[in-house]
Amino acid sequence: MEGKSPRTTSWYEQKLKTFVAFCDDPPVGELTLEDARQFVVGLWDKDITAQTIHGYVRTLKAFASWLEREGYTSDNRFKKLKPPKVPKKLVQVLNEEEIKTILNSFNQDTQLGARAYAICVLFLDTGIRSGELCGITLDDVDFKRGVIKVNGKGAKERIVPFGNMAKKALMRYTRVFRPEPAMGAIDNLFLSTDGYPLTVNAIAKIMRRVAQRTGVERLHTHLWRHTSAVRYLMAGGDVFSLQTILGHETLEMTRHYVQLASRHIEIQHKRFSPADNLGLRRR
């Protein structure tokens, strides 16, 4: 009813179904805080990551708030349920050598190679999400201005710029290798070989194949987004522009990339320190 995306509703549905199965589907009025706590303990026993468990707890707390708000329970049963602390890990974004290895691995004279190359360059240049990429239509791309209209989270549209490298890759794919749509109503930019719109799962499979072929085994679609954001900041881009490009609702979400970029600058300096690389010995 609130217009959430199918992916969002599916995310909540999957987690709630797991909880319901654990509790053996009791009446909602009989749910207790202990039920939720035992469920979370069981998740830890399954060796699930703290990040994933955090998502389950958020789902349960949202569900309990909804039950109270709609009158199914007299109080918020899971109000005191605490989410686990999620360790803050430094995301190892793709370095320049890895990026070149990936982009040079495609045979751009083939349909699949030209498509995969265009997808990767667009991910790198814009930082868009895979779901957003799947939804791009031909009319959304303005080659003259060098911008794409993207339909982001919460059905919020935004304009995302792209550079000359992405422009060339997209024009080559659309003009030479993009197959005929399977049906007249299909106008998505990226299509499967049989003319249907690419899905998020299809793009994830493409990235897994690229990862195996190139040896960059940690490659996945969202790593392109992290890499794009960090490289944008390291090249001199400002955080306010980045917020708009990424489609973040708050600046707090974007500040994460500022910290990430700063940390990677430290790592790069330790590796390429001008003084340390002189090779001078201490007297």
- What are the strands of the beta sheet with 157-161, ordered from one edge? 141-142, 147-151, 157-161
How many CB atoms sit inside 10 A of residue 95's CB?
Answer: 15
List 225, 226, 231, 264, catalytic entry: 225
- Residue 173 annotated to the active site: no
CA within 13 Å, CB half, 12: 13
List 4, 54, 222, 256, catalytic entry: 222
The Cα angle at residue 230 between residues 247 and 59, in degrees rounded to 5: 50
* Rounded distance between C-alpha atoms, residue 152 and residue 156, angstroms: 5
- Residue 257 annotated to the active site: yes
Q: Where are the beta strands (DSSP E) in 57-96?
A: none
- The token pair at 161 is 């710029």
- Residue 153 annotated to the active site: yes
- Residue 54 annotated to the active site: no
Q: Could you give the 3-state DSSP secondary structure of residue 159? A: strand
List 54, 153, 172, 256, catalytic entry: 153
Residues 6 or more apart whose CB falls under 8 angstroms from that of 83 comprise: 53, 54, 57, 58, 61
Residues 6 or more apart whose CB falls under 8 angstroms from that of 129 comprise: 152, 153, 221, 222, 225
- Residue 226 annotated to the active site: no
List 15, 61, 231, 248, catalytic entry: 248
* Rounded distance between C-alpha atoms, residue 215 and residue 206, angstroms: 14
How many CB atoms sit inside 10 A of residue 181's CB?
Answer: 16
The Cα angle at residue 122 between residues 171 and 200, in degrees rounded to 5: 110
- Residue 264 annotated to the active site: no
The answer to whether 78 touches 33, Cβ cutoff 8 Å, is yes
Q: Could you give the 3-state DSSP secondary structure of residue 249? A: coil
Active site residues: 129, 153, 222, 225, 248, 257
